[in-house]
Amino acid sequence: MIGVVDYKAGNLKSVDSALSHLQGDFFISDDPEKLLKSDKMIFPGVGEALSAMTVLRSSGLGDAVREFAASGKPLLGICLGAQIVFDHSEERDTACLGLIPGKVKRFAPDMGLKVPHMGWNTIEHIDIPLFRGIPQNSSFYFVHSYYIDAEYDDNRAAVCEYGISFTAAAVKNNILACQFHPEKSGEAGLQLIKNFIELY
């Protein structure tokens, strides 16, 4: 059973729709106790880092995500959820959960690129079960103004180019994170979610 963490950061309808479409066994909850009992966790999120961390602290959901990660059970962070598993975000200088070493930085405005990075971009990924059946340079849908800079190469599961090369997906043991929205990335995205359901 997959527990989807509801911490009021954006809308969970699209994650709900994708998991239902794939006939995944899941529930959406804001109850730390219930979520800790799940076998896998999806940690989504859209919005801004500091307010998200504030909610995570006051609700006890941040501790639940940490405890779940420490238990060794599979955890998948998406978009803001992916950023928050790192150490720190430049977005309002926010201390994050620190589950994977690295920082979240702002796209520099002087690169002549539009920010947010919004739209479809290709990624290059390493060979882990999350990307099984997904060809190199497949396109995924991104919407973000801050990017993940994983500290160690070992934790970079996928990279993407937007002015600079940034961490599009990360892995550290049982912890997975993707900056893009698999639930909005067509068939490639559905395959990734299916892989998380079936292979972890």
Q: Is 4 helix (H, G, I), strand (E, B) or coil?
A: strand
Q: Which stretch binds other proteins (CB under 8 A): 16-24, 32-40, 57-65, 91-99?
A: 16-24
Token reading at 167: 């961490």
For the question of residue 183 being annotated catalytic, the response is yes
Does 71 help bind other proteins (rule: CB under 8 A)? Answer: no
Interactions with other proteins, residue window 122-181 (CB under 8 A): 122, 137, 139, 141, 143, 161-162
Work out the number of other CB atoms within 10 angstroms of the CB of residue 75: 28
Does 28 help bind other proteins (rule: CB under 8 A)? Answer: no
Contact 131, 189 (CB under 8 A): no
Bridge partners of 2?
26, 40
Does 47 help bind other proteins (rule: CB under 8 A)? Answer: yes
- In the block, tokens 């106790």 appear at 33
Token reading at 131: 């990307």
Q: Which stretch binds other proteins (CB under 8 A): 10-18, 34-42, 68-76, 169-177?
A: 10-18
In this structure, the dihedral spanned by the alpha carbons of residues 8, 13, 17 and 19, taken in order and rounded to 10 degrees, is 0
Distance (Å, whole) CA 99 – CA 88: 10
Work out which of 28, 121, 126, 129 binds other proteins, going by CB under 8 A: 121
Active-site positions read 79, 181, 183
Query: Contact residues for other proteins (CB under 8 A)?
Result: 10-11, 13-14, 17-18, 20-21, 46-48, 109, 114-122, 137, 139, 141, 143, 161-162, 183-187, 189-190
